[in-house]
Amino acid sequence: MNVIREDIDALHALIKIRVTPEDYKSKISETLNKYRKTANIPGFRAGHAPLSFIQKQYGKTVLFEEVSKMVKDAVNNYIIAEKLNLLGNPIPLDQNGFSGDFSNPSDFEFSYEIGFPPSIDISLSKNSSFEFQKVDVNETLISKQAEDIRRRYGKLTSADVVSEKDLILGRFLELNEDKSIKEGGIDHTSSISLEFLDSSDVRALFVGKKIGETVELSPDDVSKGPKDKAAMLGIKEADLENVGNVFSYTINEIKCMEFAELNEELFAKLYPDESVKTDADFTARIKSDLQGMFDQDSDKKLYRTIQDSLMEQVKADFPDAFLKRWIKQVNDKPVTDEQIESEYESYRNMLKWQLIERTLFEKHKIVIDQLELFNFTKQLLRSNYANYGVFDIDENELSQNAMKFLQDKSQTDAILSRFTEEKIITLCKTEGTIKEKIVSYEEFIQK
């Protein structure tokens, strides 16, 4: 068997495997003899059918299977021996990928296309500068978070007069143009939360009103889009086009939020570790938690900044024609050339970033340590538990759950992606230059 490589260009080549009868005859004979010993052919005792009969019945299939296996092994062995770094996998040059005739076996030649990744030359130094936006956790943010916490642990109480942040339960009645009640129109009871209305003018319609009083309004003014409007009126979204836009709303109940008091009982619910006992502790804890949360978001933004900067800095060509054919062949479902063209740039950018990450890891001698990945998974789970207010977690249970996650390939891929992202961020913070910029919460969200 003869394996040769023919370079098409710097990133694209052919592997050709030439197979002669001397390469496959003995193997075919050996396999057919095994078939003969176990074949149960009508008219012959088991294992005694003539070899010519076996050859006629199974010869072509055996030849195809054995030659295909030999060629596959030859390609894999060649890639390993030559230490080839490939993009994707070898693909047949054309639909069949070979020349020869299995009905009249003689010499065969199989041709496979291979693609190579471009050479990426990049490393980080103090000249590599990245902006890190840090949110200014000011008194306004702290007060708002404290109010949200007190509301979350507060309770609704009944009120007689509507205030700006109250929850109202009332009856929608659809009206005619002359403001009379529409016969067969919408008649539905729903709640309106004044606190979350966009318009202060609409909110003012309700403030000061009492139970039993009526307001004329448009459902559009108190809903958040078609889906919310339909739910508020008790109909299907598709039926909105048949509904008018003038309604009366009669107030049946008024509920106001009585905020939870800041005391040791609330602090014990919020922080079972007893780290917060006073109002000052509470304020400091909110500030610390907010800063930690925003810093995580800042890290995510920093990662995107790093990606954009390095992707722009690195110039790399790809064997585009080969990759497009490869994508089409390996896809589970049929894809058109138009689909590939529309998505190819995103796919190529993903490949480019993976090569940049790999190069940075190699240049700066970063390795993925399994114990470190395991501990990282535990920390992710610990954070997830904390989001649900669970802080006291059994260490053995945490370790067992982390092992289960890492045994699930889809979960492992996602965790490894997060872990790699964290490694890149840490690398840029230690080897590069991070320029910290304090921004307001509003500016951070806007960007």
Interval 74-101 mean pLDDT: 87
The residue written with tokens 């240049």 in the block is: 363
Give the pLDDT confidence score for residue 97 in this predicted structure.
Answer: 67
Reduced to 3 states (helix: H, G, I; strand: E, B; else coil), residue 432 is: coil
- The yes/no answer on whether domain 129-138+268-446 falls in CATH 2.60.40 is no
Q: Which residue has the higher pLDDT, 47 or 53?
A: 53
- Residue 408 token pair: 């699930």
Average of per-residue pLDDT values in the chain: 90
Main-chain phi, psi angles of 317, to 5 degrees: -95, 155
The amino acid occupying position 19 is V
* Mean pLDDT (whole number) for 277-299: 94
Q: Please determine, for residue 39, whether its predicted confidence score (pLDDT) is greater than 90.
A: no
* pLDDT category of residue 138 using cuts at 50, 70 and 90: very high
Structural element, H or E, at residue 373: helix 370-387
Q: How far apart (Å, rounded) are the C-alpha atoms in residues 400 and 403?
A: 5
Q: Which helix (H) or strand (E) holds 437?
A: strand 433-439
Report the C-alpha gap between 85 and 35 in whole angstroms: 40
pTM of the entire predicted model: 0.71
Helices (H) and strands (E) in the chain, counts: 13, 12
Numbered ranges of CATH 3.30.70.1050 in the chain? 2-115
Is a pLDDT exceeding 80 seen at residue 334?
Answer: yes
Taking CA atoms, 45 is separated from 30, 42, 51, 110, in Å, by: 20, 8, 13, 40
The percent of residues in the chain predicted with pLDDT above 90, rounded, is 67
Q: pLDDT band at 271, cuts 50/70/90?
A: confident
pLDDT at 52 over 80: no
CA angle 88, 90, 96 (to 5 degrees): 135
Confidence of residue 436 (pLDDT cuts 50, 70, 90): very high
CA distance 221 to 107: 79
- The CATH number given to 2-115 is 3.30.70.1050
Per-residue burial over 261-286, b = 16 or more CB atoms within 10 Å of its CB, e = otherwise: eeeeebbeebbeeeebeeeeebbeeb
> What mean pLDDT is predicted for residues 281-305?
94
Lowest mean pLDDT among 107-121, 154-168, 237-251, 390-404: 390-404
Q: At what angle do helices 409-431 and 370-387 cross, to 10 degrees?
A: 100
Which residues in the chain are classed under CATH 3.10.50.30?
155-258
- What is the structure's pLDDT at 393? 79
> What are the residues whose beta carbons fall under 8 Å from the beta carbon of 260, sequence distance 6 or more?
149, 150, 151, 152, 153, 154, 155, 266
Stretch(es) of the chain classified as CATH 1.10.3120: 129-138+268-446
What is the model's pLDDT at position 95? 60
pLDDT (0 to 100) of residue 389? 65
Other beta carbons within 10 angstroms of residue 102's beta carbon come to: 13
Position 3 confidence tier, pLDDT thresholds 50, 70, 90: very high
Match domain 155-258 to its CATH number in 3.40.50.300, 3.40.50.80, 3.10.450.50, 3.10.50.30: 3.10.50.30
Q: Which residues contact 104 (CB under 8 A, 6 or more apart)?
A: none
Contact between residue 354 and residue 146 where contact means Cβ atoms under 8 Å apart: no
Residue ranges of E strands in 95-185: 98-99, 108-115, 129-135, 155-158, 167-174
Alpha-helical segments (H) within 158-238: 200-206, 226-233
Average pLDDT of span 114-135: 92
Q: Do 222 and 202 meet the contact criterion of CB atoms below 8 Å apart?
A: yes
State the residue for tokens 């260009």: 9
The answer, yes or no, to whether residue 109 has pLDDT greater than 90, is yes
pLDDT at position 214 = 96
Could you tell me how far CA 219 lies from the centroid of its own chain?
36
Give residue 116's pLDDT. Answer: 95
Name the residue among 390, 28, 68 with its Cα closest to residue 401: 390
Element (H, E) at 300: helix 279-313
The first and second tokens of residue 351, run together, are: 């490949």
Structural tokens at position 79: 């890639």
- pLDDT tens string 367-393: 888 899 999 999 888 888 777 766 677
At CB < 8 A and 24+ separation, what contacts does 172-181 make? 172/219, 172/232, 172/233, 172/247, 172/248, 172/249, 173/247, 173/248, 173/249, 173/250, 174/243, 174/244, 174/246, 174/247, 175/216, 175/244, 175/246, 175/247, 175/248, 176/244, 177/246, 179/216, 179/246, 181/248
Q: What is the pLDDT of residue 240?
A: 94
Q: What is the pLDDT of residue 294?
A: 94
What six digits make up the tokens of 59?
């010869």
Are 131 and 437 within 8 A, CB to CB?
A: yes
What count of residues does the chain have?
A: 447
CB 340 within 8 A of CB 327: yes
Is pLDDT of 96 > 70?
no
pLDDT at 260: 94
